[in-house]
Amino acid sequence: MRILYLGLDPSRYQTEGEITHLPLIHIVPKPFLEVAHLFEKLKNYTHVLFTSRSAIPPYVEYAFKSGYLLSHLQEKRYLVIGEATSQALLEYQLTPHAIATLPTAEGILPLLDSQQVASLFFPHSSLSRPLLKTELISREIPHLSFPLYDTQFHKPPLPPLELFEEIVFTSPSTVKAFYQCTQNLPPLSKCRAIGPITKKSLEYFWALPYG
């Protein structure tokens, strides 16, 4: 099968067919000086939440820059969405304490109820949905929620879409970027969305009229 993969990391799909990797987004961490004062407060929080693997590299880098040791980071309890984010955390010798099986912000809510979260450090995308912050406030959980990185769009020329049996979208950002790159949308049945929020985004954009 010939697959066009539009996300950041196609490694999990290498066994599924012939992969063409065309990333339509890239991750740009906030400048360290912009968030340094927030990382100084990391020591005050018992739990750290990751809703995307993209937040983990800048989190670790900026924590080290702020004077924390690996042992300090290993003392935190990590809540993560999905196995991919869990594996990314393990690559930095950090252990996920609890993993949301539903790969959406909604999947984190049962963890907040069951893990006795005393306080939460929550670095996320600037495009992050407000649901979790709203829930943290309603549950009266002390937290520090802030954008750690931006998601920027590429608009490269697309290859002929008829060459591919499947097109993989990994986030609503990849859907939006793809929609902006072409007005010749492939059949929705040819598109694979990773996660229910991405699926809703596909259905939304595919229903829009052009012009």
Delimit the domains of the chain by residue range: 2-24+154-206, 29-152
Tokens 């596909």 correspond to: 202
CB 58 within 8 A of CB 148: yes
pLDDT of residue 96: 96
Tokens 């924590």 correspond to: 63
pLDDT of residue 162: 92
pLDDT of residue 29: 97
CB 161 within 8 A of CB 172: no
pLDDT of residue 210: 59
pLDDT of residue 181: 87
Q: How does pLDDT run along the chain (211 residues), one tens digit per residue?
A: 899 999 888 887 777 789 999 999 999 999 999 999 999 999 999 999 999 999 999 999 999 999 999 999 999 999 999 888 999 999 999 999 999 978 788 888 888 888 889 999 999 999 888 889 999 999 999 999 999 999 998 888 899 999 999 999 999 999 999 998 887 889 999 999 988 889 999 999 998 875 5
pLDDT of residue 125: 94
Q: Report the greatest alpha carbon distance in the chain.
A: 55
* Ordered DSSP codes for 144-181: EEEEEEEEEE--PPPPPGGG-SEEEE-SHHHHHHHHHH
Which class for 155: exposed (0-12), middle (13-18), buried (19 or more C-beta within 10 A)?
A: exposed
The amino acid occupying position 78 is Y
Categorise residue 156: left if φ over 0, alpha if ψ from -120 to 50, beta otherwise.
beta
CATH assignment of 29-152, among 3.40.50.10090, 3.90.190.20, 3.40.50.300, 3.30.1130.10: 3.40.50.10090
The gap between the terminal CA atoms of the chain, to the nearest Å, is 33
Closest listed residue to residue 18, CA positions, set 193, 178, 165, 175: 165
pLDDT of residue 2: 93
